[in-house]
Chain A
Amino acid sequence: MFKQIEGSRAVAETVALCRPQVICAYPITPQTHIVEALGEMVKSGELAGCEFVNVESEFGALSVAIGASAAGARSYTATASQGLLFMAEAVYNASGLGLPIVMTIGNRAIGAPINIWNDHSDSMSMRDAGWIQLFAETNQEAADLHIQAFRLAEELSCPVMVCMDGFILTHAYDRIDLATQEQVDGWLPPYEPQQVLDPADPVSIGAMVGPDAFAEVRYLAHHKQLRALERIPVLSREFFKTFGRNSGGLLRTYHTDGAETVVVALGSVNGTIQEAVDELRADGVSIGSISICSYRPFPLADVQAALADAKRVVVLEKSLAVGLGGMLATDVQMAIQSRQRRVYTVIAGLGGRAITKVSLMDLFRQARRDALESVTFLDLNWDAITRQLARETAVRRSGPIAENILKDLGELSSRIA
């Protein structure tokens, strides 16, 4: 059933269809609308058999989810940015304990400077926490991925993060085909825990493990993600059979066959990239793109295959590995290390900076001429930077960078990009 609704609402309604039993909520932009909507559904009784817990922090939120999941309840929470960092300890704990929690990340930058807008720094900070990380390209996919996430998580006993771009997706009104309760019930079996806190059959969960077994435990976590590599495409296909939509999977290619230049990216920016690709191809440029849905586990083999024909790869990242460049790019390098290919890292869209088709097309043209730095920053205001650097060399106490740059640029908020 189609609806023109906000992405957050679509996710909330889909999560509700998955019959979660415990939902933990702590407000943080831009994820807030999701839990608000779910809270309303629980209160109104629309979502029955579910406990909605208003916690005192993100750390508390995931902790409540951990307890609920260990007690055999299907558990869900959502967060973003600072919130994800504040729950970091629990993030590792949930995966370490193998608890199939599903968490939505409304991707947002991390301060300081404090910034509420979109980029991928938050999810990236937790990429090695042992969670499966799925990136949504559209709000339709964001909604669909949650259904798949619960099934995947519970099959493997491993938590899953569904990452959707903050504001760009969470706050966007789109035409969404919402699943029906019958479809979801038929596709997502009730939660059958691998381990459960049950007085009738007591176990001790969360033992202290020393050098004698810790490495094995970690390997098994890795192995679990390797199994996810097999399950994700299967589930995506099965999902299509029931719901008639292509959502999820490890990655999606766009005109990569025979393309000399291939762009790789995560999330919603792929839409704009495809627009750019179309226009460039119309100009006869040999270019295609790959949208990676499963960032963890990272589909090395599929990426390698998709890049078989590429002469060069442009990895567009909404996060920065300070002091290195790109994280996704590093992973892509690993996928194709056997072949000598140029891999350009492009850092774009940090802290909500709009990524425009115009900039992209210009960027890709440069790439085609191999005129790119190996690490390129898209639409960076070099004047502001040069001025600040000059200030710093001149005066030791040159003041807070962000404020200085704002002074240089003047009031930004009314500007478009």
Chain B
Amino acid sequence: MEKPFAITLDVGSSLANHTGSWRTERPVYVDRLPPCNHACPAGENIQGWLYYAESGDYLRAWKSLVENNPLPAIMGRVCYHPCETGCNRAQLDQPVNIHAVERFLGDEAIRRGWQFTPGTPTGKRVLVVGSGPSGLSAAYQLARFGHQVIIYEAGPAAGGMMRFGIPKYRLPREVLDAEIARITDMGVSIHLNTHVDDLARVMQEEKFDAVFLAVGAHVAKRAYIPAGDAAKILDALAVLRSVEAGEPPLLGRRVLVYGGGNTALDVARTAKRLGATETLIVYRRNREKMPAHDSEVQEALEEGIQFKWLSTIKKATDTTFTVEKMRLDEKGFPQPTGEFETIEGDSLVLALGQDVDLSFLERVDGLEIVDGVVKVSARMMTGHAGVFAGGDMVPAERTVTVAVGHGKKAARNIDAYLRSDVYNGPTKHELAAFDKLNTWYYSDAPLTVQPLLDAARRESTFDEVVKGLDENNALFEARRCLSCGNCFECDNCYGVCPDNAVLKLGAGKRFEFNYDYCKGCGMCAAECPCGAIEMVPETI
């Protein structure tokens, strides 16, 4: 029967009314740079691998992670995770426990024996000097490009500072060995106890197309302390190295450590484990000014390490040390006060930082040294074409993570250099700051604290202090990620549009706006939890 005129209408007819013409602003999907990625010295795409980890796809998460860093199990342990300092979630409850998830993925990879695959051979030969984090990172990246990589390592074992600077209880050696092995399994060859005394000659004789220098900084800085002959004064690196070599030095019951860096803490905690009953760290400034990472200070305190702030050591005898009190001036520099006191101690370990041994570079022309470190360009290349450098031997913060970042960056530039090309990284997106987020949609989920080894066992053994996460809480941690600045397909825009003007393209394909009907109310942008939609004015 014919429907009544006008009062009865067929469904769907309103599609003829294109309300998009009302619009003065249009929503557009954007990608913003998450603060974790922004803060990572190794340039990891943290949010990227967390995305896979959230769904329990650890292999893909790991593969994504090692794009930028071949040492997740190590990094998850020794990195001081600036990513977590930058994490927006910190402003909501606590930052995502990124390093713990990274460590979980690294350990998972070792457990399951996941491997790297080298690139198709290019026929180019690259020399890497030093098998520390930056050397290994560079070697790995270069191997992925298909270049043949040879590492010359002066020491008896690969790993550099990771092995000789960082104690076992922070980085178990089986973990270190496993991740180095995975790199050598790619075809990277490491020549141990191979000291490069004349780089120019080696390059010429062994026909390397490029070199990456990553010898690190191993020469302990010294301070002049008038001391009697019997006074026992050692340097931190020597102590740690001999412990690693299995010949721990005799430090006595009362050990003083002089310095405020991470090495000072490492050596102090090592001394404790070697049987010292009293370990005292003497530092010329206060705790706030201490360069060592807070978590380490915290753990040290738990282990009974004592601190003497605002103090410098002036004089040493065999059992006593004279200390002068300091005060900080308005600029925060320590100034002598003239007040002295005497502390009893059996030995003093100096942890005042390290210098780079640059002797082997003397005959490399064009290479420039400034303040005891090698000057490099933005592309990590030294003044000598084809010679690149990174890690502790170039001007930068000296951490494993920075080193890994250098290695990656250098490798990409070396690869470009070998193709007589120039490497240009992707342009960075605008930072996804906290104010770009709509955090109501994130449920409350406080961070999971990693279990710690109980203090008693810490004093006697070198067992790993910080334990890992099991799968459940690793998954939980991964899911605490806010996905700042990048669509994670939560369907909010799709759901909150009063005009059904958002098209859902299907899993992984994100969304599109249907500008025929979008009135530009901006609700999608306002309600996007992660700030991945921007309203831009229409040109009228």
A interface residues (Cβ-Cβ under 8 A, vs B): 96-98, 157, 192-195, 202-207, 209, 213-214, 216-217, 220
Contact: B11 with A216, CB < 8 Å? Answer: no
Contact residues in A for B2 (Cβ distance below 8 Å) = 194
Contact: A195 with B6, CB < 8 Å? Answer: no
Contact residues in A for B3 (Cβ distance below 8 Å) = 194-195, 203
Q: Interface residue tally of chain B, by bracket?
A: 10 to 19
CA separation between A217 and B1, bound complex, in Å? 17
**Given A192-B1, A194-B1: A96 in contact with B11 (beta carbons within 8 A):** no
- Name the distance in Å between A197's Cβ and chain B's nearest Cβ: 10
- Name the distance in Å between A99's Cβ and chain B's nearest Cβ: 10
CA separation between A157 and B10, bound complex, in Å? 19
Among A195, A214, A216, A220, point to the contact of B8 (Cβ < 8 A).
A195
**Given A202-B11, A203-B11: A98 in contact with B4 (beta carbons within 8 A):** yes
Verify if B378 is at the interface (C-beta below 8 Å from A): no
How many inter-chain contacts with C-beta < 8 Å in the A-B complex? 46
Within 8 A of A (CB), among B1-52: 1-11
> Which partner residue on chain B sits nearest A96 by CB separation?
B7
* 10 sample A-B contacts, Cβ–Cβ < 8 Å, listed by A number: A98-B7, A157-B4, A194-B1, A195-B1, A195-B4, A203-B11, A206-B7, A216-B5, A217-B5, A220-B4
- Name the distance in Å between B16's Cβ and chain A's nearest Cβ: 14
**Given A192-B1, A194-B1: A205 in contact with B11 (beta carbons within 8 A):** no
Contact: A217 with B6, CB < 8 Å? Answer: yes
Contact: A207 with B5, CB < 8 Å? Answer: no
CA separation between A213 and B8, bound complex, in Å? 12
> Which partner residue on chain B sits nearest A206 by CB separation?
B7
CA separation between A202 and B9, bound complex, in Å? 9
CA separation between A206 and B3, bound complex, in Å? 12
State the majority secondary structure of interface residues on B: loop
Contact: B9 with A207, CB < 8 Å? Answer: yes
Contact residues in B for A97 (Cβ distance below 8 Å) = 4, 7
Contact: B4 with A194, CB < 8 Å? Answer: yes
Contact: B6 with A207, CB < 8 Å? Answer: yes
Query: 7 extra interchain contacts, Cβ-Cβ under 8 A, other than A204-B10, A209-B7, A217-B6?
Result: A97-B4, A195-B1, A203-B10, A204-B9, A205-B7, A216-B5, A217-B7
Contact residues in A for B8 (Cβ distance below 8 Å) = 195, 203-207
List the 9 closest pairs (A to B, CB-CB), nearest first. A213-B6, A194-B1, A204-B9, A209-B6, A98-B4, A195-B8, A207-B9, A205-B8, A217-B6
- Name the distance in Å between A216's Cβ and chain B's nearest Cβ: 7
> Which partner residue on chain B sits nearest A97 by CB separation?
B7
Contact residues in B for A203 (Cβ distance below 8 Å) = 3, 8-11
- Name the distance in Å between B65's Cβ and chain A's nearest Cβ: 52
Contact residues in A for B5 (Cβ distance below 8 Å) = 213, 216-217, 220
- Name the distance in Å between A200's Cβ and chain B's nearest Cβ: 12
Contact residues in A for B1 (Cβ distance below 8 Å) = 192-195
Contact residues in A for B4 (Cβ distance below 8 Å) = 97-98, 157, 194-195, 220
CA separation between A164 and B463, bound complex, in Å? 103
CA separation between A214 and B5, bound complex, in Å? 10
CA separation between A188 and B4, bound complex, in Å? 23
- Name the distance in Å between B465's Cβ and chain A's nearest Cβ: 66
> Which partner residue on chain A sits nearest B14 by CB separation?
A204
CA separation between A214 and B2, bound complex, in Å? 18
- Name the distance in Å between A225's Cβ and chain B's nearest Cβ: 15
- Name the distance in Å between B5's Cβ and chain A's nearest Cβ: 6
CA separation between A204 and B5, bound complex, in Å? 12
- Name the distance in Å between A2's Cβ and chain B's nearest Cβ: 39
Contact: B11 with A204, CB < 8 Å? Answer: yes
CA separation between A204 and B11, bound complex, in Å? 7
CA separation between A220 and B7, bound complex, in Å? 12
CA separation between A70 and B79, bound complex, in Å? 72
Contact residues in A for B7 (Cβ distance below 8 Å) = 96-98, 205-207, 209, 217
Contact residues in B for A194 (Cβ distance below 8 Å) = 1-4
- Name the distance in Å between B12's Cβ and chain A's nearest Cβ: 10
> Which partner residue on chain B sits nearest A213 by CB separation?
B6
CA separation between A102 and B11, bound complex, in Å? 29
Contact residues in B for A217 (Cβ distance below 8 Å) = 5-7
CA separation between A193 and B7, bound complex, in Å? 15
> Which partner residue on chain B sits nearest A202 by CB separation?
B11
CA separation between A206 and B5, bound complex, in Å? 11
CA separation between A96 and B6, bound complex, in Å? 11
- Name the distance in Å between B126's Cβ and chain A's nearest Cβ: 70
- Name the distance in Å between A190's Cβ and chain B's nearest Cβ: 14
CA separation between A202 and B1, bound complex, in Å? 15
Contact residues in A for B11 (Cβ distance below 8 Å) = 202-204
CA separation between A206 and B1, bound complex, in Å? 17
CA separation between A203 and B8, bound complex, in Å? 7
CA separation between A257 and B5, bound complex, in Å? 44
Contact residues in B for A206 (Cβ distance below 8 Å) = 7-8
CA separation between A217 and B8, bound complex, in Å? 11
- Name the distance in Å between B472's Cβ and chain A's nearest Cβ: 45
- Name the distance in Å between B454's Cβ and chain A's nearest Cβ: 67
- Name the distance in Å between A103's Cβ and chain B's nearest Cβ: 20
CA separation between A216 and B6, bound complex, in Å? 9
- Name the distance in Å between A199's Cβ and chain B's nearest Cβ: 11
CA separation between A275 and B3, bound complex, in Å? 48
CA separation between A217 and B7, bound complex, in Å? 8
CA separation between A97 and B9, bound complex, in Å? 12
CA separation between A220 and B203, bound complex, in Å? 99
> Which partner residue on chain A sits nearest B3 by CB separation?
A195
CA separation between A204 and B2, bound complex, in Å? 14
Contact residues in B for A96 (Cβ distance below 8 Å) = 7
CA separation between A214 and B8, bound complex, in Å? 13
CA separation between A206 and B4, bound complex, in Å? 10
CA separation between A204 and B10, bound complex, in Å? 6
> Which partner residue on chain B sits nearest A210 by CB separation?
B6
Contact residues in A for B10 (Cβ distance below 8 Å) = 203-204
> Which partner residue on chain A sits nearest B11 by CB separation?
A202
CA separation between A203 and B3, bound complex, in Å? 10
Contact residues in B for A216 (Cβ distance below 8 Å) = 5-6
Contact residues in B for A204 (Cβ distance below 8 Å) = 8-11
CA separation between A364 and B335, bound complex, in Å? 132
Tell which of A96, A98, A192, A214 has the most Cβ of chain B within 10 Å: A98
> Which partner residue on chain B sits nearest A207 by CB separation?
B9
Tell which of B2, B5, B11 has the most Cβ of chain A within 10 Å: B5
CA separation between A209 and B9, bound complex, in Å? 11
Tell which of A193, A214, A217 has the most Cβ of chain B within 10 Å: A217
CA separation between A115 and B427, bound complex, in Å? 88
> Which partner residue on chain B sits nearest A98 by CB separation?
B4
Contact residues in A for B9 (Cβ distance below 8 Å) = 203-204, 207
Contact residues in B for A195 (Cβ distance below 8 Å) = 1, 3-4, 8
CA separation between A206 and B10, bound complex, in Å? 12
CA separation between A220 and B10, bound complex, in Å? 19
CA separation between A216 and B8, bound complex, in Å? 14
- Name the distance in Å between B15's Cβ and chain A's nearest Cβ: 14
Contact residues in A for B6 (Cβ distance below 8 Å) = 207, 209, 213-214, 216-217
CA separation between A209 and B11, bound complex, in Å? 16
Contact residues in B for A98 (Cβ distance below 8 Å) = 4, 7
- Name the distance in Å between B2's Cβ and chain A's nearest Cβ: 7
CA separation between A96 and B7, bound complex, in Å? 8
CA separation between A202 and B7, bound complex, in Å? 14
Contact residues in B for A157 (Cβ distance below 8 Å) = 4
CA separation between A182 and B1, bound complex, in Å? 27
Tell which of A193, A204, A217 has the most Cβ of chain B within 10 Å: A204
CA separation between A52 and B8, bound complex, in Å? 28
Within 8 A of A (CB), among B337-362: none
